A and B are shown apart, each in its own frame.
Chain A
Amino acid sequence: MEKNLLQILSGQVFDENLQISLVEFCQICQINSTEVIEMVEEGVLEPVSGISHQEWYFNSRAINRLRTAKRLQQDLEINLPGIALALDLLQEIEQLRKQIKS
C-alpha cells in the first residue's frame, strides 16, 4: 500500500486504432468465444475487420459495448436483438446530445 503511493503506474492505452483479435478480446472480457460469436451474429458487437472468426478484429469501443450489453442482459433481462437495438439507440442519443451542446 505505502509502496504503491510512491510508485506511478503506466499502462497500455486502448484507443480506437488498437486492433484486438477474437482470442485477445475473449481474454480481456473474460468471456467465451461462442458468446462473442453469438453477439456478433445478433449485431450487439461488430468486428472492425475480418470475415471468418479467426480474422476478426475488434476495437476498444467493443469492450465497453460488451460490458454495457452484459449489464443490460443481467439487470433488465433483455435478449440479444433487444440489446443491439438499445445500444444503437443509446449511441445515437449520445451523438445527438453532443450536437445540441455545440
Chain B
Amino acid sequence: MQYKDYYKVLEVPRTATQDEIKRSYKKLARKFHPDVSKEKDAEQRFKEVGEAYAVLKDPKKRAAYDQLGSQWQEGQGFTPPPEWKTQFSFDGGDIFAQQGGDFSDFFEALFGGIGARQGGKTSGFYQRAMNEKGRNHHASIEISLEEAFHGTVKTITVQFPEIDSSGNYNNASRTLNVKIPKGIGDGQSIRLAGQGGAGTGNMPAGDLYLDIKYQPHPLFRVEQHNLYITVPITPWEAALGTTIEVPTLDKKLNLKIPPNVQTKQKLRLKGQGLPGKEPGDLYVVLEIVTPPATTEEARNLYRKMAAIMPMNPRAHLR
C-alpha cells in the first residue's frame, strides 16, 4: 500500500488551520468536480481531494494521521503501525464514508473498517422499504460516429454497489450486450428495462439508463443530425469550379463546386448526415489553400495576378 500525502493533495502546509483546509478543499473540489472540470484526471483528483478532506477536516483523524510523522513521501510503500487499531478507533457516519469503497487502501487501512462502513450504511444509503421498485442505474458509453451511423451492438460491464440481505455492501457487476440503434444522437440515452438495481419484496428491478456520447471524429463535426466537414481546395478550383470527391460516413461522393466560391462557404449535401426520422445533411465547408511561391516563375505568376485582378480584401476594415 502507498502512503498518501493528504496535505499535498489539499495543497496546504502541515501547519494549516482547519479553516485553511476547508477553504482549500472547497476550491479544489470546485476545480476538479467531474461535471465542471475538463481536466483528464478530474474524477480521480476529485476523489483524492475528498479522501484527504475526510481525514484532515476531522481533528481526531487529523491528529492520528499526523502521528505517522512527516517523513513519508507521497506514493511511498507503507504499512500501518501494528498498534494503530488499538490506539485509535473511528466511528463512521461522516459523509465521505457513505460512498463506501471509493477510497484508497491507505484510507481503508487507517480509517476504514467496520465503523466507517456501518456509518455509511445507516445514514448514506437510502433505506429500502419492504416493497419497492429497484433503483434506476445510469451508465454512459462512448461510440464512434460510424457506429452511430450504422448502428451496432456494444458489450458493456456495469458495476454498482448492492446491499445484500444481511446488509453488507457488494460491488456487483453485470455484462450486457446492448443494441445501439442506427442514428442515435449524442447525449441521448437508452432505457434498458429491468437492468437496474433489484427490487425488494415482489417489486420489479429498476431500469438502466445508458447515456450515449460521441467520440470526437477526425474529419466530421456533428451538430444535431447534421455533419460538417472542412474540405481544402486550390484557388483555381475555387475560381473556375470543379468536381471533387468528398467522403461521407459510408461512401465517397462527387461534389460539384460552382465557379467563384469563397473560403468558409458551405455546400449542402442533403440527407447525407446522420440517419433519423428526418435525416441530417452533410455540410462541406470550403477552405481555399494557396500554393506557396517558391520559384521566380511562381512569384511572377502571382505578380501577374495582382496586376490583372487587383483587389482589396480589407476594404471593410477601414
Q: Report the bound CA distance from A90 to B135 in whole Å.
A: 28
Contacts of B29 in A (CB 8 A): 75-76
Number of residues from B at the complex interface, CB < 8 A: 40
A-side interface size class: 20 to 34
Q: Which residues A14-70 have CB closer than 8 A to chain B?
A: 14-16, 28-30, 60-61, 63-64, 67-68
Q: Please state if B153 and A68 are interface contacts (CB–CB under 8 Å).
A: no
Q: Please state if B189 and A60 are interface contacts (CB–CB under 8 Å).
A: yes
Q: Please state if B179 and A9 are interface contacts (CB–CB under 8 Å).
A: yes
Q: Report the bound CA distance from A15 to B216 in whole Å.
A: 20
Q: Report the bound CA distance from A13 to B26 in whole Å.
A: 38
Chain A contact residues: over half helix, strand or loop, or mixed?
A: helix
Set B178, B185, B187: member contacting A9, Cβ < 8 A: B178
Contacts of B211 in A (CB 8 A): 64
Q: Does A96 contact B (CB under 8 A)?
A: no
With A5-B175, A5-B177, A98-B223 as given contacts, are A28 and B33 in contact (CB-CB < 8 Å)?
Answer: no
Q: Please state if A13 and B190 are interface contacts (CB–CB under 8 Å).
A: yes
Set A9, A15, A63: member contacting B195, Cβ < 8 A: A9
Q: Does B174 contact A (CB under 8 A)?
A: yes
Interface residues of A (CB under 8 A from B): 1, 4-16, 28-30, 60-61, 63-64, 67-68, 71-72, 75-76, 86, 90, 98, 101-102
Listed A/B pairs (25) with beta-carbon separation below 8 Å: A1-B174, A9-B177, A9-B178, A9-B179, A9-B195, A10-B178, A10-B181, A11-B191, A11-B193, A13-B181, A13-B190, A14-B188, A16-B185, A16-B188, A28-B136, A28-B191, A30-B135, A64-B211, A72-B35, A75-B29, A75-B33, A75-B46, A76-B26, A90-B36, A102-B221
